[in-house]
Structure formats: structure tokens, C-alpha cells
Amino acid sequence: MTDSTSTLAASAARRTGGNMNWLRHVKSAFAYALLALAAFVSIFPFFWMIVGATNTSAQISTGKASFGDQLLINIANFLDQVDVVRITINSLIIAGAGTVATLLVTSLAGYAFEIFRSKFRERIFAAMLLMLSIPFAALMIPLFVMMSRFGLINTYQAVILPTVAWIFMIFYFRQATKAFPTELRDAAKIDGLKEWQIFAYVYFPVMRSTYAAAAIIAFMQHWNNYLWPLIVLQTNDMMTVTLVVATLNSAYTPDFGVIMVSAIFATLPTLIIFFVLQRLFVQGLLGSVK
Amino acid sequence: MTIAENSSKGGLLARSRIARREQINGWMFIMPALVLVGIFMIYPILWSLWMSFQVGRGMNLSFGGLSNIIRLTQDPILLRALFNTGIFLVVQVPIMLTLALIFASALNNPKLIGRGFFRTAIFLPCVTSLVAYSVLFKSMFAEDGVINAFLMWAHIIADPIPWLLDPFWARIVIISAITWRWTGYNMIFYLAALQNIDRSIYEAARIDGVPAWAQFLYITVPLLKPVILFTSVISTIGTLQLFDEIMNITNGGNPADSTLTLSVYIYNLTFRFMPSFGYAATVSYVIVIIVAILSYVQFLVARDRRA
């Protein structure tokens, strides 16, 4: 019966071949139009950001969408209002140290959860997965009180420490470790390597693309972090790039030209990373669901 | 016989020594993460439960019994925040995931010209920081801003829409902003999953004369169910934590608290108004409970799927 219907359908398709072709053209035209619209909408804010940086604040707030001649003035104002070197160093220290610490701690844990299995550790892992969905808002008040008791308010450590044991990353590394060939570990063991040596000299080099992808995601996360730095960083000399963008934006009389320059400045590092390492970037995103 | 016994005993001993060493290593490798999770997650979450039974200003707290919970039930602002978060959840997540699925299936056609360009373009918003893109959206949706200018130029509207001044439109702006930022992100997950589907299934369906929309509905969607579930869970958690956009597009919940979310309200209670840590901790437990319920529902759905 299925056969007869399929033959029927096939012959119907043959009969209306010309029609179907025409329909297919319409459909693919529709797909292109849809994708073009989506691409336009996706790219437009970037265009707006770059155009805005070349216009005056008044022109931006009245919707001028063509290039102007204010770029240098806006950059000069930005450099004038913001200690760019300082905030860049702050952001780089926080994102850099945060990324290295996150990768070290979470890869050790992810590796061990997969390689050294025990019933009890499986339970811990399951409990950690449950914690994955605890919202940060539920932690921030005790964390803030804790940091002020330790006298760590307004320090790099206060920003970095709570973000190091990122459970998502532990999960990511465990998933990635499933692809790590056990023969390599066995061979290294026969050669008399200790467990930490196997991790450092065999696992790490073999998994470098996993590490690179994780580094990209972690760096972005730390670079763009807003809520927690907003709470623990309090003086101007400790501000990060992200915090400065927000501060400029919430000014009583915001200078949109300067804001656009600051937004470009905040987006540029991640944009460059994305274009240079696009493949790794996507791999990092997908790694945890494979 | 004794020799055999001995050697088997020795083997057992050696094996148990190896097993014990494996155990020690297992704990050593996990320890740093475990300690950090303990200090910066488990301890705070328990402390916050304790705090939610305390009252007082700033850090001068004293036990207040159930007074925070009573305040919770009489708090109209909390109700607003819950309502707004619910609206964002119910309206935004389905729209975004549907769009992501449509774009992914359109891009899955290997004969499509400019596939790489479209994919990169739609994914590009994910590269921006939440604060930076919020700032852009705020300026685009200004009363005299570029969006209104465009809509009026195209004769879609006659008068400018008060995007950020009207509760209804302000919510629309927030929903559009989040959709812009995250559709490409979800699309990447769908694309990866689509590429794992055997093309011959579609080939067979096409030969059987199954129309494209039915292929999408009866082949693609069921096969992608696990990924769809995964993306809806992460989108839900993300929406419950909505903070950066609200702070930077609608100045922390304007107009008239119409875009206030739970995270922003907790922030306001702790750091903006008279600091009342105890009550803020109580409100934060509302999110914990919602997340727990949703996780449980997700667990039920996942179990159903396996059965």
C-alpha cells in the first residue's frame, strides 16, 4: 500500500514537474529573502555602532545612519573621559587570570571525573549538574558579604575567585575527555609516568584544541562579565572595559559618540578572536552537547 | 598450589593498591574544583537560606522568623518582576527557538549559495558583550532614533513609537534585543544536529511526495527533540537571570517597573535601595525554587522521551 501511494505520488510529481520546478524557485527565493533579512538585521547594529562612532551625540540620537566626520573627536573625548590603559589592563588581568585558573581547575576535574570513576564521584558529578542552574542572583548577596569580611572588596581576586570553578566547563572537559584515547594513558603508565605527568605531558598536548576552544569561551565570559564586577569593584581605578561602557551609558547626559567608541572598544577583542578562530569558537560552544 | 594461592593473593593486593592509588588521584584532581564550588556556591546558597530568615539593615541582621516570607506575599513589586520574567519567558523563548530552527533548516541546504556568509552573519550577535549590545539597542530605539526614522521613512508608522517610554513597547524592545543576541547561538546547535541527520530520510520522503513543511514537522522536529529540549532549558535559565539588558536598555526596569526582572529586583534590594540583605535573600530563593521546579519538569520530559 505504501508502495502504491508512493508510485502515485511519484507519477503525480512527474506530471506536475514543470509546476514543481516553478514552486521550488519561489521557495528558494523565499529562503534567500528570509536569510538576507536575518543577516541584515543581525549585522545592522554593528553597522550602527561603527557609523555612530563617526557622528555627534545629537546626530546619533536623531537616527543619522550615514558616516560623519566626528570619529577623531569622539575617540579624543573617549580617551579624555576614560583611563583606557588602566581599564584595559584591569580587564586583561581579570579575563586572563580568570581564564587560566578556570581552565586548570575545570580540566583537572573534568578529566578525573571521566578517567577515575567511582560511584561516589558520579554522585558528586550529578549534584554539580544540578547546581548548573542555580542563578547567580541567588549567590551574590552572601558572596558580597563574604568578600567584604575577607577584605577583598575592590580587588581582582574578588572578581576572579567565584568564577573559577565554572561547572559548565567541568562538564565540557568531561565530555571532551571521552574522546581521549585510553591507549595513550596505558602506554604512558607502562613508561612509568605518574598521573599528574600523564595529565601535563600527554593529555594537555593531545587535547590542545579542546583547551583552545574552552579558552575562547572562558575569556569571553570573563571579559564580558558585568553583574559581579559591578558589585565588587567600586573605585574608578579598578573599572573594567565592560563596566565603563555601562557607566558612560547611564550618565545623566550621555555622549552617544563616546558610547559608540567604547562599545567598539569592548567588542573588538571578542570580534577579532571570533574571526581568527571561528572553527574553534563554534566547537567550544557545541563541545558540551556532543 | 601454595604458589598459585600466593601469587593470586599478591595480584589481588597489587590490584587493590592500584585501585587505592586511582582513588587518591581521583580525589586529588577533583579537589580544587570541589573546594571552590564548596566555598563559592554551596556555602553561599546555604547561607542565603539562613539569611532569608533574618531582618535588618545592611549587615546588622537579626533573626526575624517568617517575616520575610510574609513580606514576600504582600510585595507588589515582586509580583511585577515575576510577571515580567514570565512574559519574557513565554513570549521570547518560543519565538527565538522557532526562528533559530527555521534559519538552521534553510542553511542546512548544501546547495544554498552564500551559506557561510549567512551563517556567520546570523551568528555574529553572539560575539558581542551583553552590555555593549544593550547600549546599541538603547540608542537605536531612542524616540528620535534610527528605528523610528526607518519605520516612518518606510511609511509603516506615521508617528514615532515611544519605545522606551511605554510599558508595552519597552517589553517589545527587550524581547527583540534578546532575540537578536541569542537566535544565532541556538541556530548553531540546531545546525550541528541537522548535519547528523541522514539525508536519505529526506530523500525517501521527497520521493514519497511528502511536502517540505510536512518533512520539517514530522522528520526534522522529532529528530531534533533532544537539542530543542536542551536549548529551551538553557534559554529558560538565561531568561530567569536576565539582568544586563534591563540595567542598560531600560535603566533597571523602566518605565514603571514594566521590564523589572527578578535579578534586577534582587540587585536593587541589595545595593540600590536601603540594603535589606535578608529580604533580598528570600527573593533570591524564589528564583531557586522556580529553577528547581522547571528542572524537575525537564527531568520528567526527558524521562518520558526515553520511555
Please provide the DSSP assignment of chain B as one string: -HHHHHHHHHHHHHHHHHHHHHHHHHHHHHHHHHHHHIIIIIHHHHHHHHHTTEE-STT--EE-TTHHHHHHHT-HHHHHHHHHHHHIIIIIHHHHHHHHHHHHHHHT-TT-TTHHHHHHHHHGGGGS-HHHHHHHHHHHTSTTSHHHHHHHHTTS-SS---TTTSHHHHHHHHHHHHHHHHHHHHHHHHHHHHHTS-HHHHHHHHHTT--HHHHIIIIIHHHTHHHHHHHHHHHHHHHHT--HHHHHHSTTT-STTTT--HHHHHHIIIIISS--HHHHHHHHHHHHHHHHHHHHHHHHHHHHHH-
- Which chain B residue has its CA at the smallest distance from A105's CA? B33
For residue A60, the chain B residues in CB contact (below 8 A) are: 139
- In this prediction, residues A103-126 reach a mean pLDDT of 91
ipTM exceeds 0.95: no
Task: Say yes or no for a CB contact (<8 Å) between A226 and B131.
Answer: yes
The rounded percent of chain A whose pLDDT value lies above 90 is 54
User: Is A19 found in the same domain as A162?
Assistant: no
In a domain, A71, yes or no: no
From B25, B121, B184, residue closest to A195, measured CB to CB: B25
- pLDDT class of A290 with cuts at 50, 70, 90: very low
In a domain, A61, yes or no: no
For residue B266, the chain A residues in CB contact (below 8 A) are: 137, 140-141
pLDDT for A97 equals 96
Q: What is the pLDDT of residues B69-79, one digit of tens each?
A: 888 888 999 99
Show which of residues 48-77 on chain B sit within 8 Å of chain A, judged by CB atoms. 48, 51, 59
Reply yes or no on whether the pLDDT at A5 is more than 60. Answer: no
In a domain, A99, yes or no: yes
Could you tell me if B77 and B96 are in contact, meaning their C-beta atoms sit under 8 angstroms apart?
A: no
Average pLDDT, chain A: 87
Q: Which cell numbers hold the place of B262? A: 527578578
CB neighbour class for B294 (10 Å; exposed up to 12, middle 13-18, buried from 19): middle
CB pairs under 8 A between A and B: 275
The alpha carbon dihedral of A86, A87, A89, A93 has a sign of positive
User: Is A198 found in the same domain as A118?
Assistant: yes
pLDDT for B11 equals 62
User: Is A80 found in the same domain as A48?
Assistant: no
User: Is A160 found in the same domain as A253?
Assistant: yes
Reply yes or no on whether the pLDDT at A118 is more than 90. Answer: no
Least confident interval from A70-84, A86-100, B239-253, B267-281: B267-281
Q: What is the pLDDT of residues B221-257, one digit of tens each?
A: 888 888 888 888 888 888 888 999 999 999 988 888 9
The CA-CA-CA angle for residues A190, A191, A194, to 5°, reads: 90
pLDDT for A228 equals 95
In a domain, A64, yes or no: no
- In this prediction, residues A73-94 reach a mean pLDDT of 95
Q: Which cell numbers hold the place of B103? A: 534559519
For residue A260, the chain B residues in CB contact (below 8 A) are: 139
Select the residue from B37, B102, B210 to test the A interface by mutation, using most A Cβ atoms within 10 A: B37
The Cα of B249 is separated from the nearest Cα of chain A by a number of Å equal to 9
Task: Say yes or no for a CB contact (<8 Å) between A134 and B288.
Answer: yes
pLDDT for B35 equals 96
Q: What is the pLDDT of residues B98-134, one digit of tens each?
A: 999 999 988 988 888 888 899 999 999 998 999 999 9
User: Is A253 found in the same domain as A167?
Assistant: yes
The Cα of A93 is separated from the nearest Cα of chain B by a number of Å equal to 18
Interface check for B244 against chain A (CB to CB < 8 A): the answer is yes
For residue B177, the chain A residues in CB contact (below 8 A) are: none
User: Is A45 found in the same domain as A80?
Assistant: no
For residue A145, the chain B residues in CB contact (below 8 A) are: 47, 59, 277
In a domain, A179, yes or no: yes
CATH number at residue A143: 1.10.3720.10
User: Is A103 found in the same domain as A20?
Assistant: no
- In this prediction, residues A104-119 reach a mean pLDDT of 92
For residue B150, the chain A residues in CB contact (below 8 A) are: 63, 65
From A2, A65, A165, residue closest to B37, measured CB to CB: A165
Task: Say yes or no for a CB contact (<8 Å) between B132 and A134.
Answer: no
User: Is A95 found in the same domain as A166?
Assistant: yes
Task: Say yes or no for a CB contact (<8 Å) between B281 and A141.
Answer: yes
The Cα of A168 is separated from the nearest Cα of chain B by a number of Å equal to 11
pLDDT for A107 equals 95
In a domain, A223, yes or no: yes
Determine the structural domain holding residue A39 and report its residue range.
2-52
In chain A, how many domains are there?
2
Show which of residues 180-199 on chain B sit within 8 Å of chain A, judged by CB atoms. 180, 183-185, 188-189, 192
User: Is A238 found in the same domain as A95?
Assistant: yes
Interface check for B157 against chain A (CB to CB < 8 A): the answer is no
- In this prediction, residues A256-266 reach a mean pLDDT of 95
User: Is A156 found in the same domain as A86?
Assistant: yes
User: Is A85 found in the same domain as A16?
Assistant: no
Could you tell me if B29 and A116 are in contact, meaning their C-beta atoms sit under 8 angstroms apart?
A: yes
Reply yes or no on whether the pLDDT at B59 is more than 50. Answer: yes
Q: What is the pLDDT of residues B163-213, one digit of tens each?
A: 999 999 999 999 999 999 999 999 998 998 888 888 888 888 888 888 878
pLDDT for B58 equals 66
User: Is A45 found in the same domain as A88?
Assistant: no
The Cα of B33 is separated from the nearest Cα of chain A by a number of Å equal to 5
In a domain, A116, yes or no: yes
Could you tell me if B97 and B231 are in contact, meaning their C-beta atoms sit under 8 angstroms apart?
A: yes
For residue A143, the chain B residues in CB contact (below 8 A) are: 40, 44
